[in-house]
Structure 1
């Protein structure tokens, strides 16, 4: 198919037109998705800031609030570790080193159900079949950020490894499964400790900033424009002649 555009001739192949428009549509959709993610991250950051400004919750308040009200809220209080339960969340990377997040159930003062607490990161051992030995204080000063949706993604294999002894390695935090494994009626939230201890706190409520998402959106948009430009350049046959 031969067309004239702006006094220039272009020869278009139907298959290449379809492929070009498909690629362009995909890239523009990716750009739009990144813009939507930027909007979502902006809203998340605003909510975290609002909850931080409102002050920390106490454990006694949790059972009276909806999950949407406590998600991303700060919490402070005192609690007691329910020994011997320790889960090591696998594949956690901090400063380029592979390790685990140490997760324990805590009986918080004022809360009937045990609360899961992510104490922070600890380094993995060289041998995969050996787990690090972690020391847990019997009394825990709770000071962190609550999240209610923390299941994550399980790609392959089972989630919780039952070695018959603690600690046990897990691939994701699943309240129902960990409750069944421990026999504890766990409260459906996870507290990410933020105070410094023998473990390294590293949780961030927003990993990629809105600015980065907008940057990726611009990149996808420019790639879409580039696809159209390359297709037009390849089909260009020269300037139209007039007699």
Structure 2
């Protein structure tokens, strides 16, 4: 089965200025995909915007603090006002607020901020663009999750990602029969600003797996695509492997 063609399409990448988002943006540009680059400040994405334009694609930046849902809505309004047909969404941006050794006293604010950034903003973005993807007959949404478990020290972060997982799989059950595919991906524990310097994985190892959900082409939503399972593969090999993996939506 062939992979989806992304050349000339538009992808929104949240958290595009560094870490995993930066690598997503570069890889997608190398495949000819135009980019909307999100960060908290337009200054932060200046470097990646210049780099992807040098690869011959169109790109522009948007800014929003994802903890502020009014800013998220304004960002989405601005994208729609430009008339950009968002074909692919990478909900990549996330925050891990703190490591709470005294986890029984985790501040409520940890949960509130984690859920706004890691879950609610991603839902707002996907809900804005998926209906239009369905109308146009093509769309991909890739939600970046986490494999953290059995660590109540990071309970706010982990719970927000668990909510993202549940929402993604529930929605997947309603996308059958469309060419809009929603997937989950996990970069693994990487040496990024979020992952820290002691993480075992170089962030470059997420390619191509972190992006493979944009290229699957069989109409099946609800897959979990762990990026480290595809390390060292070509994109074509990664897509072929992904097509063999059964999706696991929560079916009715």
Q: TM-score, normalised by structure 1?
A: 0.25
More helix by share: 2
Q: Greater RCO between the two (CA within 8 Å, min separation 6)?
A: 1
More strand by share: 1
